[in-house]
Each structure stands twice: as C-alpha cells, then as structure tokens.
Amino acid sequence: MAPKKNPLKLNKLQLRTLLLFQELASHPETATVDRETGEVLLSTLPHPHGDHVHIGGLVVSSTDASGFGNKSVWMALERKGLARSGFPLAITLTVAGIEYDTGLPGRIAQPSNH
C-alpha cells in the first residue's frame, strides 16, 4: 500500500511553508547542517520585496511565503515534530521535517529572471 499523502494533516499554508523551509535547507547560504543529527538550522530567512521572495535561484510569490512571518505556522510545524521554532529569528528542521513529502515541489517556485 502506498504511503498516505500528508499523514500529519498539515493545512495548505503549513505545507507551502514547510516546502519553502525545505528548499532553504538545501542552500548553504541559508542553512547550517548538524552532521550528527541531520537537522538543519535556518537562521537567514528571505524577506519579501514587492510581490515575491527569492530562494536561491527561485522566485516565490509573497503570498506563498506568508508563513515565514506567521508564528502559528511555525508552532504547528513544531507540534507535528517537523521543526523546532525560534520564531521569528530561526527555525530548525528535524529529519522528519526535511523528509516530509509536501506533495508540492515545483508547483509554487519558478526560476528567477533577475
């Protein structure tokens, strides 16, 4: 039997935010990996300018990145065991958070043209 999609029942904003945190975790400019635990500290979060946010070579709608400034989203990810919140300064993704399949990759981020 195939694994259930979204087994932790994250809402749409939580899924989008987790996906963006996962993307940030893949960039050494924004992520510090703990080699012992596999967890990733994100202490440099991008700030929206205009209607978008840059994450590496990608651009994301500010609306899709609204969870970056939403304490409730961070706390939900922590309650579900996907992260440890240091809102608003930093967040640590657990291994479960890094590996969680949001079902969204490629749908909300586009290559940047600037």
Residue 108 lies in a domain: no
Amino acid, single-letter form, for residue 26 = S
Q: Taking residues 73-91, report their average pLDDT.
A: 97
Q: What is the DSSP string of 65-105?
A: TGGGG-HHHHHHHHHTTSEEEETTTEEEE-HHHHH---S-T
Task: Please indicate, yes or no, if residue 79 is contained in any of the structural domains.
Answer: yes
In a domain, 55, yes or no: yes
State how many domains the chain has.
1
Structural domain includes residue 111: no
Find the domain containing 69 and state its range. 12-102
Pairing of strands 31-33, 83-86: unpaired
**Domain annotation covers residue 4:** no
CATH of the domain at 75: 1.10.10
**Residues 86-95: tens digit of each pLDDT:** 999 999 999 9
Q: Region of 50 please: left (phi>0), alpha (psi -120 to 50) or beta.
A: left
Given a cut of 90, whether residue 3 has pLDDT beyond it is no
Tell me, what's the pLDDT at 64? 92
Give the pLDDT score at 114: 60
